[in-house]
Amino acid sequence: MGGFFMFFEPMYLVFAIPGLLLAGYASFMTKSTFKKYSNTMASSQLTGAQAARQMLNSQGLQDVQIERVEGFLSDHYDPRHRVLRLSPPVHDSPSLSAVGVACHEAGHALQHAQGYVPLKLRSALVPAASFGSKFAYWILFLGITLQGLGQVGGIGASIVNLGLILFTAAVVFSVVTLPVEWDASARAKVQLVSAGIVTPAEQVDAGRVLNAAFLTYLAAAVSSILTLIYFLIRSRR
């Protein structure tokens, strides 16, 4: 039982609470900003899907497909199948929120086509990061528990080190995600105007949606870094 309560000691809260507060703020800002500009229509009257199509076509990416998928803000670009998947509120609406998000995802398609290095790195990290995010906590819990029980032979320490390696992979993934997402938004902001999707004034408001969404990635990175620092400190005690 001692190992279990180690994960909920006051020191853990010192590292966890800032990340939780930032994540809550980021989620609130993303949803409220998206909702606000969902009520402001682009003067071009292009839906999110049409805006993404126009942006992709302007960059010679006619072969990238666009699909409608269920879910709220489940929008993403699939580099394996070269498909842009947009949620109904983005795919079907001509709002500034919709065209901003759609063109952000189209920005990932541009990154893919141009061999953007951080995107390649993030894609390469997916298997390790996915495994680490699922199992690192359990492995760390087991290792710290064994250490707390005075496990001989260094088994507990070895398990902790394995957990730290797996968790680090997830942390690196979240950090690499930051330039990938920022760059996709930067590309979208330029293309929104140059492709004739919005006016310069409208681009400012659409950009606010993208900036708010970026906070969620920043919060995830900060939270994961703080958690890793906690585990590093805890494992050496």
Residue 199's φ and ψ, nearest 5 degrees, are -80, 165
Catalytic residue among 67, 105, 181, 202: 105
Q: With beta carbons less than 8 A apart as the criterion, state whether 191 and 103 touch.
A: yes
Helix 155-194, helix 48-58: angle, nearest 10: 80
Angle 181-182-184 (CA atoms, 0-180°, nearest 5)?
65
Q: With beta carbons less than 8 A apart as the criterion, state whether 55 and 195 touch.
A: yes
Does the annotation count 105 as an active-site position? Answer: yes
CA 39 to CA 198: how far, in whole Å? 15
Q: With beta carbons less than 8 A apart as the criterion, state whether 123 and 114 touch.
A: no
Angle 153-145-167 (CA atoms, 0-180°, nearest 5)?
95
CA 41 to CA 47: how far, in whole Å? 9
Q: What tokens appear for 89 in the block?
A: 């509120």
CA atoms within 13 A on the CB side of 4: 1
Alpha carbon of residue 194 to chain centroid: 26
What residues are annotated to the active site?
Answer: 105
